[in-house]
Structure 1
């Protein structure tokens, strides 16, 4: 399988603090890759630097064979790499439908946009019910669905998901993870950053564990989930 994303020796600093100390990993077409680690391990920083929302000190990022290390974020979106950030960040004063349409702002294939909107409503029936409601009035879970739906409206080939289950009730967490698997089965490759290590591993092909800005371990999710040291550190023993 070809690499869709390659991250090589990525270093990022915040002032004198080295947040990423030269991490390398890859994502193959069709995979779900999970990045797990404690708070402050560098997971969100990794996604931000891939999307070029923060400056890299050194290292490279390649997407579909093209070097995107210093590419403008909007060009990265146009290339098919879409980032659904932590904390949902929906447009509170726009309706659900308007938020979804914002996801397609770089597109002009009107008929296909309509079909994709319908597809998002099939994945997230609650968004259809609330299409005319202001996004700011939705529950946390509904806002997460909206953020993911808006990301899908950009036609991603690779979807970066940052903490999609954060702050959600367990029943909603299950729902969100089911939908992530559906999105992947529909042909979208996924790089998932997630605090819920067990959930993240249970749907991933491969896992990279980040510790204080370095990859401390990696491997097949089905093997890692049974690893004693991983269990102790991330799965509550």
Structure 2
């Protein structure tokens, strides 16, 4: 579904991405793991064309989208949930969800998808008229994900969905990510919580200073001594 080839990004003289390549097959959860500054968020932004690439290509569903405008990329079904949620804080929960469907014209299907989002996130239904900026951090993350689902993604890019959340909410968010995938949405997950990410992913890529230094099946990466030492706190029992 997604092919990233030799992707490079510069911020002035800084080489943020140094020619990375990876792919995502339909139906998978693929995770990109790395420390702060490794290039994970930059990778997602380059795929979505929010930032300019220095080199490389992005192929989505067989089509080169390297130069396609971000709003057009949304209509193709490639949707990003940004780091930090970036909800519309002054709008209600319902208004935020409706904004996710702004490119759609199929009103009956929009209503159906709204019900689907409320089924995934019952707390959002309880707070449908509440101003989004007054929600808790976990509820705002749910809203950001729900807003993205209203765009009917074929491929969902998730950027640090567990950031700043209490452990019990982290567990809940990852269970919901699995449910979204099982319902048919392919997922590319950027996440610092390597243990949680590898626990639900089929494959993973380890980024370091803008390069892919290791990749493989998630279960294999969880057993890799170097990965455990660097990203899993040296834990040995999985």
Q: Structure 2-normalised TM-score? A: 0.98
Query: Aligned-pair distance for 1:16?
Result: 0.1
2: distance between equivalents of 1:74 and 1:39?
A: 28
Gaps in structure 1 of 5+ consecutive residues: none
Paired position in structure 1 for 2:49: 52
Q: How many Å separate the matches in 1 of 2:38 and 2:92? A: 35
> Could you tell me which of 81, 93, 97 is aligned with 2:94?
97
Alpha-carbon distance in structure 2 between the residues aligned to 1:225 and 1:153: 33
Residues 26-58 of structure 1: CA deviation (Å, up to 9, x unaligned)? 000000000000000000000000000000000
Indicate yes or no: 2:30 matched with 1:33: yes
Asked if 1:178 is matched to 2:175, the reply is yes
1:159 aligned partner: 156
Q: Which of 6, 9, 12 is 1:9 aligned to? A: 6
Q: Is 2:113 the counterpart of 1:116?
A: yes
Which of these residues, 138, 150, 154, is aligned with residue 135 of structure 2?
Answer: 138
Match of 2:230 among 226, 229, 233: 233
Structure 1 residues 97-131: Cα deviation after superposition (integer angstroms, max 9, x where no partner): 00000000000000000000000000000000000
Q: Show the counterpart of 1:212.
A: 209
C-alpha RMSD over aligned residues: 0.3
Gaps of 5+ in 2: none
1:203 maps to which of 173, 184, 200? 200
1:73-84 alignment, distance < 5 Å: 73-84=70-81
Residue 188 of structure 2: aligned partner: 191
**1:23 corresponds to which residue?**
20
- Give the match's secondary structure for 2:223: coil
CA distance in 2, matches of 1:224, 1:93: 42
